Amino acid sequence: MVSYRRARVEGACYFLTLALRNRSRDWLVRYAEELRRSLRRTMQERPFDMPAAVVLPEHLHLLMILPGGDADYSSRVRRMKSLFVGELKANGAPLRFNARREADVWQRRFWEHLIRDEADFAAHVDYIHANPLKHGLVERVSDWPLSSFHRYVQRGLLPVDWAGEGAASVNRAGE
């Protein structure tokens, strides 16, 4: 079995990407409220801050800031994924299970990137907010409802027409 090496810095900020196993499904937007409940419950059980996030049909990006003395983002991701599967099951979603009795919902692994500094943080916030535009889901970032972009606009941190002409200027973080 491959041994993955992940960054583990206590109290750090991480950029995370989680994807559905079947990338043709739209379950993250179809079951957005269930995903929201799963995230909230995870945050209650294992606190962390989430300064930016976007949910697309088959994947999501978020920034997770861990409390001081804590470097365990993996258990938070595992818990949120598990809670979401439970929500899907409760709603009668057509789940399939493998021999290990794991639901065929999430990709096994997830992408993680340790945020290095303020510029890296800003680039990833921009990337998160521009992601629906990048994937051709909307013509303006403000048109995508499942994004922390709206919170940034409400707080006066970004104008409502931010990146309205395209994501080329805000796609610095990469994927």
Residue 40 belongs to a domain with what CATH number? 3.30.70.1290
Per the structure, how many domains does the chain have? Answer: 1
Phi, psi of 40 (to 5 degrees): -60, -45
Give the tokens for residue 158.
């970004």
Q: Which residue's entry shows tokens 């909307």?
A: 138
Q: Which residue has the higher pLDDT, 105 or 172?
A: 105
Q: Is residue 1 part of a domain?
A: no
Distance CA 123, CA 126 (A): 5
Q: Tell me how far CA of residue 44 lies from CA of 7, 28, 76, 81, in angstroms.
A: 24, 21, 11, 15
| Residue 29 domain boundaries | 13-170
Average of per-residue pLDDT across 41-50: 98
pLDDT at 107 (0 to 100)? 93
Whole-number pLDDT of residue 24: 93
In the prediction, which pLDDT does 168 show?
45
Q: Tell me, yes or no, if the pTM score tops 0.95.
A: no
pLDDT of 114 reads 97
- Domain membership of residue 70 (yes or no) is yes
| Residue 8 is assigned to a structural domain of this protein | no
